Structure 1
Amino acid sequence: MSNQKKQNMKGKPVKKKTSSSAWIFWVIGIITVGLLVFLLTGNHNKDNNGASISYKNQPYLGNADASVKIIEFGDYKCPICKDFNESFFPVIDKELIQTGKVKFYFINYPFINVDSKRSAEFGETVYKELGNDTFWKFHELLYKKQPVDESLEHKDIFTQDFLLKTLGEVTTKENVKKVSTKLDTSTGSKAVETDNGLVKDLGVSGTPTLFVNGKKFEGNTFGDLEKMVDDAAKENK
C-alpha cells in the first residue's frame, strides 16, 4: 500500500483509524458476543451434555428435598437391569436413599422388544393412577418376575394380562380395575414419549445407565457412585 495519505473526494485527507482504537473496538465486540453466548447457552439447570432435565411427574424414592438426584434409565426386559435392581440397588437404597442423601428416579428406556414398551407404559399408568408407592412395589415385583432364561428376552411375555396379574399382587382388585380402564388411553404412552425424549437428549445408549445431578456415572462400584454423590453434594453447598 502507498504511504501517501488517501484523500477523499473533496481533497481532504481521510483519517486512518489508529491501531489502538481498532483494538478497543474488537475487544468490546468479543466481550459482547461472549456475554450473549453465556446468556443463551449458560449451564442453567442443564446436564453436562447441555440438555435440560425435567424431573417433574417422574417416580422417585427418597427425601424430596435432597440436593443430589440420581436417575436410573432402565428396561423391564433387560437382564442386566434385573441384576442391578436385585444386587446393586439395595445398597444404593440403604446407604444413599434411606439416609436422605439422594432422591432416586426411574426413567424408562424401552428398547428391547414389544414387552419393553408395553410394560413401560403400564408402569407409567400405575404411577399416574395409583401413585408413587404402588408404582415402586409393582416396579420391584416386575423385575423379580423377569424370566431368568435369557433366551426368553425377546419373547412376548409381559402381556397385558400378565401385567394386570402382577399388579394384583401388590394392590387391590379395585385398583387393578382402575388401571385396566386407563390402558387404552394415552396416559402411559405420553409419559414414555417424555422419557424417550430425555434418553435422546442425554445420549443414553444402554441400560441400566445412571446419572448423578445430570452427569453420567462412569464408575463400576458403589464406592465410585458414593464419591460422585458426595462430590455433587459439595458442589450444591
Structure 2
Amino acid sequence: MAKQKPKGKSKAKSQTKNYVRNKNQKSSSWIFWFIGIIALGIIVVLFVGNPGDKGKDSNQSVSIDYKGQPYLGDQSADVKVIEFGDYKCPICKNFNMSFFPEVDKDLIKTGKIKFYFINYPFINVDSRRSAQFAETVYAELGNDSFWKFHELLYKKQPSDPEDEHRDIFKEDFLVKTLAEATSEKDAAKVKKAFSSSNHDEDVKKDEALVSKLNVDSTPTLFVNGKKFTGSTYGDFKKQVEEAAKGKK
C-alpha cells in the first residue's frame, strides 16, 4: 500500500488533531483527558470526532486473523481488542498515556481481554519506519520487548505539533530508544536485522487489515471484530462485557 498522509497543515490545538487519509475518507479525531479523580481511580473520557457516525456498523462483526500480532493479556481471554495506531499520532500518544493504563488495570491484567496493536502508518515517512522497526523488534526479541519499545517510543514522541510532519524517528533514534527500553546488546541485534529486512511485509499485512475494516483514523479500537463507537470509558467496558457474554 502506498504511503498515505493527511492533507493540509496541522493546527496546534490542545490535544486535538484531525487526520485526513485522502479526499474520499472522512476526517476524524479522538480527544482524551482526565475529568476527575474518584478515590484512587481516574475516569478517562474520550470523544469521537464525528458524532454523526456513532452507531454506524456497530452491530457488524468482522472476522480477523490475529496470528503473529503482538499482544498483552491472557492468551485464553475470550475478548480480543485491537488498537490501530501510528507512532507519530499525538492522539495515539494521549491514548497510551492516559486511556490505556485504565484498560491495562481493569481489563488486561484481570484476564478479561487480549489487547493487540496494529500499525496504521499514514502520517509521515517516519511513521512507516517506526512501524517497520517495531515489527523487527517483535520478530527478533519477542512480545515483551516489543511492548517495552512501544511504550517508550510513544513517551518520546515530540510535543511540538510541527514535528508531526518532520522526519524525527530516524533509525539511530529508534535504535537508541530500543537500547533504553531493553539493552545495548538487544538494540545492536535489531539494528543488524533491520538492515537486512525491515519487515515491511508485516506492515503491509497490517495495512491490509486497515483496508478490510475501513479504518480511517487513529487511534481506532475494535472489540471482537466490532468497531468501538462509544464516547466514554464506560461505553468501552460495556462493549467488552457484551462481547464476553457473547462468547459464553
Shared fold (TM-score, shorter chain, > 0.5): yes
1:74 and 1:110 in contact (8 A); partners too:
yes
Q: CA deviation at 1:170?
A: 1.4
| Unaligned segments of structure 2, at least 5 residues | 1-57
Report the secondary structure of 2:127's partner residue. Answer: helix
- Of residues 183, 190, 204, the one that matches 2:215 is 204
2:61 and 2:226 in contact (8 A); partners too:
no
Q: CA deviation at 1:184?
A: 2.8
CA deviations on 1:47-92 (whole Å, 9 max, x unpaired) are 9667531100100000000000000000000000000000000000
- Of residues 33, 38, 54, the one that matches 2:65 is 54
Q: How does 1:33-182 map to 2 (within 5 A)?
A: 51-182=62-193
CA deviations on 1:147-202 (whole Å, 9 max, x unpaired) are 01111110010000000000010112221111011113345201101000000000
Structure 2 residue aligned with 1:226: 237
TM-score, structure 1 normalization = 0.78
Larger radius of gyration: 1
The structure whose residues are more often strand, as a share, is: 2
The structure whose residues are more often helix, as a share, is: 1
TM-score, structure 2 normalization = 0.75
- Identity across aligned pairs (percent)? 64
Q: After alignment, is 165-174 or 49-58 more displaced?
A: 49-58
Matched residues in 2 for 1:197 and 1:51: separation? Answer: 14
Matched residues in 2 for 1:210 and 1:225: separation? Answer: 9
Report the secondary structure of 2:84's partner residue. Answer: strand
Residue 157 to residue 146, structure 1, CA distance change in 2 (3 Å): same
Matched residues in 2 for 1:51 and 1:184: separation? Answer: 36
CA deviations on 1:73-119 (whole Å, 9 max, x unpaired) are 00000000000000000000000001100000000000000010000
CA deviations on 1:111-137 (whole Å, 9 max, x unpaired) are 000010000000000001000001000
Report the secondary structure of 1:65's partner residue. Answer: coil
What letter matches 2:72 in structure 1? L
Q: How many residues align?
A: 191
CA RMSD of aligned residues (A): 1.4
1:123 and 1:188 in contact (8 A); partners too:
no
